[in-house]
Structure 1
């Protein structure tokens, strides 16, 4: 049966058509394109592995293998639409979470950036010049190449001459120098200092070997000389300082090479410290005090914001639901404006309004009561200011939600209540509040979780100030956990990434718990 044959199936029939040229080309290119993609993926894995990131290379290999299996085999056909979402979740959600949690068990910081092996390698690369054997040099053009002439300091007669050199940057070069005589001396004039600077990179990779096997290294724009290493490595990982014989061993608890007397070397190295960062939160008195205060303030700030926003938003929604109110649409529009204006603009406007010396709020308070509160200097006033601004930004959201929920309440209930002679307060407490609080509860939990991580408000309005006094790590009295974590990781606390990662992991579990509560409440609300 050829491609144009028709077959009967019951009362219907189907006709197969011959493939178009484009379809034929796609079939021919299918496997060549797949092979090219596989080779490109393998090359990327190899490049990552060559940089020393074996774990990352293994992860990429697993990801690429799964992708090619799903899209090139019939067995993975059912996963073709799910694979992008699952892969994206693993790469952009699961991996950052695991990586952050892993950093929380290390001492990773600005003073412990490198691995132990890299720190040891860096120290072993340190050399000192042998001062009494340093030779001055000059560089002379020899056709398209160059020759070095070496002489002792203060002498005019050359001692050693190099063979003609190409001096290509990025190419290490090791050559033998010969004694200078009339036949080997270059005839051209020595290059000037600006010309020497142009060849500095190539000269820094040049090693000249004298007949007695002494090796001369580049020491600067005017000198070559032998060098001696500052450190000697041992099989147990320790290093000995050649100047005085002091032995430094890697201390994996502190992340430094140290002597028995406690002398340390910089830089430090990243080391696994277990639950050390979490123990600091609980048992380090100088850290625990500010941390617990910030944690408590974070919970209070989030809870009070939700309470006040809900109360004000629900009040406005009930008032605007009154059919007899004149200009109701105008009021609704005006009350909605804080939600329509971008949040960061409103925050910056309020920052100017609360300015102690020039702000309009203090100008009004001074005119009425003769006071100018220090909103940004007093901790209690700063916290009150944050709550005022956050409630201003948050109540329109609750008002909109409650307005929609009020429309779903049957009017018959209010009519029956009116016949019974109930007051508006009774209507609200017995009818309105019970009927809207249940579907509103999951959204309020979400609002609590949002304000728990409301970094933008803190950063733009107070920046966490005023600070606690005499603390080991700088901490602000208006900081919440997320802004405190940012300060520890990137601002004025020595970039303690390990501690910041531990706090971030704690925040994740707290927000995850709130999310579970939200899901439970949502499930109950649907019943």
Structure 2
């Protein structure tokens, strides 16, 4: 008995060491992760990336909570899924919605502090220019500047070992050494451009050309309030206009006058981007037209692909048809070929000058349609190509649903003398519509955002005339948003693009809810 108790005690004491070691390793790893991510968070926040810093904090805190607490440790296996959902779904969505309330664009993408520092780094030539030459001496390189009546030179130095960006000029009578060629000046242009040469008095000159130095002064001076700038060249007073995100001159009454000064900075503008969609005719009219076309495109694509897919599914399952497997394989092939390859092939086939489709039409009927420049023909082409790409998927769905319908129903219908139209309307369609409805809604939502199809085939063209932002007759909302974000006529307007993307999310989200409701009804 004593031996058994002794062995149990030895087992217990022996197992305590590995357990403590595992706990130490776990907490050491968690502490390391916390320190590394904490350091990364501080770096991102210091560089103005507040959103990404907050994301890092959330993911790190969630990991420490799940892996560090005994109550939540059992849920550690779902952490990658939760982190992925936050990183790839929730964060981009929240970030996009946040951008929609700002003026973020190609002209306004800096923080206020960074925009201010850029302006303070600007200089202008405030005095006479001075010709200069480089001389190579035994002690090193010397810069010789020709004044009005005096020649000045620096002490000998080496570009490779130059410790600072400021050198003093001293009057000289003559200089020894060999004068460097223009090629040597060009080779050392970057180093020379960073040099400030202190002339007599408080005057500083800087390189202003391959053969000249000139008196340089800061264009703007920061005032005591930390926000106001004085233009040292014109004497104007500039203050930040937080309504537009730019520095702008002010008059004696403090009112903003004149043109804004770039670069701009990011500011919150409320719902202005959403209001622009409805108040700016150059955006409202194409937006409404593109929205209607997006709905029509999505609905017609679903209708056409379903109609063709259902007919073909019925044909390839016709019992008297020979070689059904071959036909089935040939009809599924368009679905197996990558979509971008098929789209590019169709783009060549519809080419107005060299496409095979126009060659056939011209040979048979003497016509050569302008597929890419006529709005109606361009839309017809887009629908045709998208129907070709989508009907195999619908055919596969319909084949499976047709197989699921009991043959007894058709046999009973035949006894009653029903024809094929009555069979379709009273048996086939009612039996297929419930399981098919969620799939049709999903197909509608997919085509609602069919970006690849539009950009590869027409790039949104033909373009609309008189719009504020680039817009085309075949643009869908998603491609219209892309063009605003990256091809905007007034600069890349990410704020407006984010506002439209938010509207698209609300529409597609509503479709997803409808899809969910339909699915739940079908389950009951």
Q: Return the alpha-carbon distance in structure 1 between the equivalents of residues 274 and 476 of structure 2.
A: 18
CA spacing shift, 1:465–1:135, aligned 2, 3 Å: closer
Which position in structure 1 is the counterpart of 2:252? Answer: none
Deviation of 1:443 (Å): 0.3
Which position in structure 2 is the counterpart of 1:61? Answer: 57
Q: Deviations over 1:147-167 (max 9, x none)?
A: 4444415x6x633x4445454
CA spacing shift, 1:163–1:69, aligned 2, 3 Å: farther
Q: Return the alpha-carbon distance in structure 2 between the equivalents of residues 339 and 3 of structure 1.
A: 71
Q: Deviations over 1:292-313 (max 9, x none)?
A: 0010000000001101111111
Between 362-371 and 436-445, report the one with greater CA deviation. Answer: 362-371
Question: Any gaps of 5 or more consecutive residues in structure 2?
Answer: 250-255
Which position in structure 1 is the counterpart of 2:245? Answer: 255
Question: Any gaps of 5 or more consecutive residues in structure 1?
Answer: 8-14
Which position in structure 1 is the counterpart of 2:219? Answer: 230
Q: Would you say the 8 A contact 1:139–1:196 is kept in 2? A: no
Q: Would you say the 8 A contact 1:150–1:158 is kept in 2? A: yes
CA spacing shift, 1:509–1:43, aligned 2, 3 Å: same
Q: Would you say the 8 A contact 2:132–2:143 is kept in 1? A: no
Which position in structure 2 is the counterpart of 1:266? Answer: 262
CA spacing shift, 1:158–1:286, aligned 2, 3 Å: closer
- Where 1:248 maps in the other structure, the secondary structure is strand
Deviation of 1:87 (Å): 1.2
Deviation of 1:198 (Å): 4.5
Q: Deviations over 1:454-485 (max 9, x none)?
A: 11111122221112122222211111111111
Is 1:158 aligned to residue 151 of structure 2? yes
Q: Return the alpha-carbon distance in structure 1 between the equivalents of residues 175 and 5 of structure 2.
A: 87
Aligned residue among 114, 128, 144 for 1:132? 128
Is 1:495 aligned to residue 488 of structure 2? no
Q: Would you say the 8 A contact 1:139–1:148 is kept in 2? A: yes
Q: Would you say the 8 A contact 2:486–2:492 is kept in 1? A: yes
Q: Return the alpha-carbon distance in structure 2 between the equivalents of residues 306 and 62 of structure 1.
A: 41
Is 1:523 aligned to residue 520 of structure 2? yes
5 Å-filtered alignment, 1:475-490, equals 475-490=471-486
Q: Would you say the 8 A contact 1:250–1:256 is kept in 2? A: yes
Q: Would you say the 8 A contact 1:3–1:16 is kept in 2? A: no
Is 1:282 aligned to residue 271 of structure 2? no
Q: Would you say the 8 A contact 2:134–2:141 is kept in 1? A: no
Q: Return the alpha-carbon distance in structure 1 between the equivalents of residues 87 and 380 of structure 2.
A: 40
Aligned residue among 506, 510, 517 for 2:507? 510
Q: Deviations over 1:210-244 (max 9, x none)?
A: 56344444444444454222223332733332333
Deviation of 1:109 (Å): 2.0
CA spacing shift, 1:187–1:343, aligned 2, 3 Å: same
5 Å-filtered alignment, 1:425-436, equals 425-436=421-432
5 Å-filtered alignment, 1:391-406, equals 391-406=387-402
- Where 1:132 maps in the other structure, the secondary structure is strand
Q: Would you say the 8 A contact 1:171–1:202 is kept in 2? A: no
Which position in structure 1 is the counterpart of 2:357? Answer: 361
CA spacing shift, 1:344–1:173, aligned 2, 3 Å: closer
- Where 2:239 maps in the other structure, the secondary structure is strand
Deviation of 1:439 (Å): 0.2
5 Å-filtered alignment, 1:20-169, equals 34-132=30-128, 134=130, 136=132, 138-141=134-137, 143=139, 146-152=141-147, 158-159=151-152, 161-163=153-155, 165=157, 167=159
Q: Return the alpha-carbon distance in structure 2 between the equivalents of residues 498 and 135 of structure 1.
A: 48
Alignment size in residue pairs: 514
Q: Return the alpha-carbon distance in structure 2 between the equivalents of residues 408 and 5 of structure 1.
A: 69
Between 67-76 and 486-495, report the one with greater CA deviation. Answer: 67-76
Which position in structure 1 is the counterpart of 2:230? Answer: 240
Deviation of 1:265 (Å): 2.2
Between 481-490 and 334-343, report the one with greater CA deviation. Answer: 334-343
Q: Return the alpha-carbon distance in structure 2 between the equivalents of residues 31 and 236 of structure 1.
A: 46
CA spacing shift, 1:177–1:345, aligned 2, 3 Å: closer
Q: Would you say the 8 A contact 1:173–1:206 is kept in 2? A: yes
Q: Return the alpha-carbon distance in structure 2 between the equivalents of residues 188 and 232 of structure 1.
A: 41
Q: Would you say the 8 A contact 1:5–1:16 is kept in 2? A: no
Q: TM-score, normalised by structure 1?
A: 0.87
Q: Would you say the 8 A contact 1:170–1:201 is kept in 2? A: no
Between 355-364 and 94-103, report the one with greater CA deviation. Answer: 355-364
Q: Return the alpha-carbon distance in structure 1 between the equivalents of residues 364 and 374 of structure 2.
A: 21
Deviation of 1:436 (Å): 0.7
Q: Would you say the 8 A contact 1:128–1:228 is kept in 2? A: yes
Deviation of 1:3 (Å): 12
Between 388-397 and 225-234, report the one with greater CA deviation. Answer: 225-234
Q: Return the alpha-carbon distance in structure 2 between the equivalents of residues 362 and 179 of structure 1.
A: 80
Aligned residue among 385, 389, 405 for 1:389? 385
Q: Return the alpha-carbon distance in structure 2 between the equivalents of residues 194 and 497 of structure 1.
A: 44
Deviation of 1:88 (Å): 1.4
Q: Would you say the 8 A contact 2:154–2:170 is kept in 1? A: yes
Aligned residue among 451, 458, 477 for 1:455? 451
Between 248-257 and 410-419, report the one with greater CA deviation. Answer: 248-257
Q: Deviations over 1:280-327 (max 9, x none)?
A: 111222221111001000000000110111111112222323222222
